[in-house]
Amino acid sequence: MNYSKLICATSALLLLAGTSSAAEITVAQKDKKFTESKITVKVGDQITFLNEDDTTHNLYSKKGASVFDSSVMEPGAKYAIKVDKAGKFTARCAIHPKMKLRVTVE
Amino acid sequence: MFDNLFSTTPDTQITSVSGRLTRTCIGGFLALAFGVGSLASPLVANAKTLAEMKAEYQRPTSVPYPEDNPYSVDKAELGKKLFFDPRLSGNNQLTCAFCHNPSLGWGDGHSLGFGAGMGRLGRRTPTILNLAWSEPLMWDGRFDTLEEQALGPVGAGVEMAQNLETLVAELEEVKGYQVLFNIAFPGTGISLDNIANAIATFERTVISSIAPFDLWVGGDEDAISASAKRGFELFNTKARCSECHSGWNFTDDSLHDIGLPNDAREEKAADGSMIKIEGDIGRGEFFKDNPALQYTFKTPGLRNLPARAPFMHNGSLHSLEDVISHYNTGGYKRPSLSRSMKPLALTDDEAKDIKSFLLTLVSNDPAVTVPILPR
């Protein structure tokens, strides 16, 4: 096996390993709270937020390891983020700012 | 010590003596005295439902302080002096208490606040009552904590207009402050962080006392009138008030568009030309792409309302009747209007009952003494 084939095979294995280890974590917005107050995830994981309330929510992070803004999340809406950087951030609802989810990305 | 304020520590329970609060280390009075299990009411068919409703409004038994700024008497006393000290303003004329006047429910009684040079501000002065339990702060929720908020108005050019870069040096010139800061903050003394921490600590001691409503929640059926009891039920049902005005301080600390008319308008300038005044979009300023956040403002608590008139973020409603009438209409329709805002079809008698209930939230708070400022 020459070096180029070895690198290709190794890369494919790493890619496969990376794909299989990525997880999808679901956190609900329920009773104007997140169902978790803090979670720890790994780089590459996806966090899916689900609005299970009958009120409009939002989801944002303006600083830290992940920055995003879902804009309006109507009841039943989903919003997913993929975390691609290690660190910490806090996901919040701009309408109900006491809703906080502290996320550690390892 | 704050003989006339409600200064408490996380480990200090609040108790009631002849309608006033004093400090005691014997805790848990509210949980014991305000048990709701035996309540019964002729107002609703299901007494348990009423009991459950009342349980949601029980006063807390201790005051929360953040781990990174715990309570101390020295810190709170220092914060009170700073709160009443005009030297915190750029022209040494304005104090925090100028706008947050304890006689006026810790507001100023004006439709819109006044700032540096008696310039009119864009919003009504919010009360600082019961902010220990509140986050975020300000009508638009721009500050997360009291510590963050404390120096905001001090440094704002249109408010107290103090140059924060020189404030520490100004206070260091006051020998009395050097002593007080060193006692309250050993090893760090006067700094912007410590000024903010002291003011925030004082603000957390500003707590409304036990009101007739609290006594009723605690089981005293004679504490409020039949009209007020009907009003409480309406508040939690037909009138939908509790969807936002929830909990013992009657706020969900969230931001809602309650359908007040947009105040965008054209006004004639001095040269005769017409200038366009943009409407206040509240939290929408920070989330311009989110249609749900336009015209949203933070839900204020409802304790001690009469002293806090006029009402709403722009002081546009002058009486409780005006406020109830506004909600009865369902508010101005626009995409951001809260889902809770709907025409209520309240009768005149129902509106009176709701007002009766709101007046039971008024407590007979002890007088506040003005501190002697350090020289």
Residues of chain B with pLDDT > 90, as a percent, come to 82
Contact between B254 and A98 using a beta-carbon 8 Å cutoff? yes
Mutation choice for B interface testing from A73, A95, A99 by most B CBs within 10 A: A95
**pLDDT in the model for residue B45:** 42
**pLDDT in the model for residue B110:** 96
**pLDDT in the model for residue B264:** 73
Distance from CA of B155 to the nearest CA of A (A): 24
Q: Is residue B112 part of a domain?
A: yes
**pLDDT in the model for residue A27:** 97
Query: Looking at residue B127, which CATH number applies to its domain?
Result: 1.10.760.10
C-alpha B335/C-alpha A75 separation (Å) is 15
Mind listing the pLDDT tens digit for each residue in B60-106? 999 999 999 999 999 999 999 999 999 999 999 999 999 999 999 99
Domains in chain B: how many in total? 1
Count of A–B CB contacts within 8 Å?
A: 48
Q: Is residue B249 part of a domain?
A: no
Distance from CA of A21 to the nearest CA of B (A): 34
A7 has a pLDDT exceeding 90: no
Which candidate from A54, A94, A98 shows the least CB-CB separation from B290? A94
- Which is higher by pLDDT, B33 or A6? A6
pLDDT averaged over chain A?
A: 86
User: Which range is least confidently modeled, B157-166, B208-217, B265-274, B321-330?
Assistant: B265-274
Specify the 3-state DSSP secondary structure of B346: coil
Let me know: does B266 contact B279? Beta carbons within 8 Å.
no
- Which is higher by pLDDT, B160 or B262? B160
Confidence at A6, pLDDT banded by 50, 70, 90: very low
Q: Is residue B212 part of a domain?
A: no
Apex A36 CA angle, A31 and A42, nearest 5: 145
User: Which range is least confidently modeled, B42-51, B138-147, B256-265?
Assistant: B42-51
Distance from CA of A64 to the nearest CA of B (A): 16
Let me know: does A42 contact A60? Beta carbons within 8 Å.
no
Mind listing the pLDDT tens digit for each residue in B4-53? 333 333 333 333 323 332 333 223 333 333 333 333 344 444 445 899 99
Which candidate from B253, B286, B292 shows the least CB-CB separation from A56? B292
A67 has a pLDDT exceeding 50: yes
Distance from CA of B150 to the nearest CA of A (A): 19
Q: What is the average per-residue pLDDT within A40-60? A: 96
A5 has a pLDDT exceeding 90: no
Residues of chain A with pLDDT > 70, as a percent, come to 81
Rg (CA), chain A: 17
Q: What is the average per-residue pLDDT within B120-144? A: 96
Q: How many CB atoms lie within 10 A of CB B367?
A: 9
Which amino acid is present at B312?
Answer: M
Confidence at B274, pLDDT banded by 50, 70, 90: confident
What residue of A is the nearest CA neighbor of B335? A72
Q: Is residue B83 part of a domain?
A: yes
**pLDDT in the model for residue B280:** 94
User: Hey, what domains does chain A have and what are their CATH numbers?
Assistant: 22-105 (2.60.40.420)
Which residues does B258 contact at the CB level (< 8 Å), separation at least 6? Answer: B297, B312, B326, B327, B331, B337, B338, B341
Measuring CA to CA, how many Å separate B7 from each of A79, B133, B165? 43, 14, 31
Q: What is the average per-residue pLDDT within B189-201? A: 98
- Let me know how long chain A is: 106
Mind listing the pLDDT tens digit for each residue in B341-371? 999 999 999 999 999 999 999 999 999 999 9
| DSSP category for residue B289 | T
Distance from CA of B290 to the nearest CA of A (A): 5
Mutation choice for B interface testing from A29, A54, A56, A100 by most B CBs within 10 A: A56
pLDDT averaged over chain B?
A: 88
Contact between A58 and B290 using a beta-carbon 8 Å cutoff? yes
Q: Is residue B79 part of a domain?
A: yes
Q: Is residue B172 part of a domain?
A: yes
What residue of B is the nearest CA neighbor of A96? B254
Confidence at B213, pLDDT banded by 50, 70, 90: very high
**pLDDT in the model for residue A22:** 86
Q: Which residues of B touch A60 (CB under 8 A)?
A: 287
Contact between B290 and A96 using a beta-carbon 8 Å cutoff? no
Residues β-bridged to residue A92: A60, A100
Q: Which residues of B touch A56 (CB under 8 A)?
A: 292, 339
DSSP B149-183: HHTHHHH-TTTT---HHHHHHHHHT-HHHHHHHHH
**pLDDT in the model for residue A20:** 54
Contact between A71 and B289 using a beta-carbon 8 Å cutoff? yes
Q: Which residues of A touch B287 (CB under 8 A)?
A: 58, 60, 69, 94
Q: What is the average per-residue pLDDT within A18-35? A: 86
Confidence at B3, pLDDT banded by 50, 70, 90: very low
B316: its two tokens: 């546009």
Distance from CA of B129 to the nearest CA of A (A): 18
Residues β-bridged to residue A49: A27, A79
Give the range of the structural domain holding residue B161, as residue numbers without chain letter: 73-203
Apex B248 CA angle, B51 and B225, nearest 5: 60
Which candidate from A32, A55, A71 shows the least CB-CB separation from B290? A71
Cβ burial of A76 (10 Å; 0-12, 13-18, 19+) is exposed
B272 has a pLDDT exceeding 50: yes
| DSSP category for residue B286 | T
Q: Is residue B87 part of a domain?
A: yes
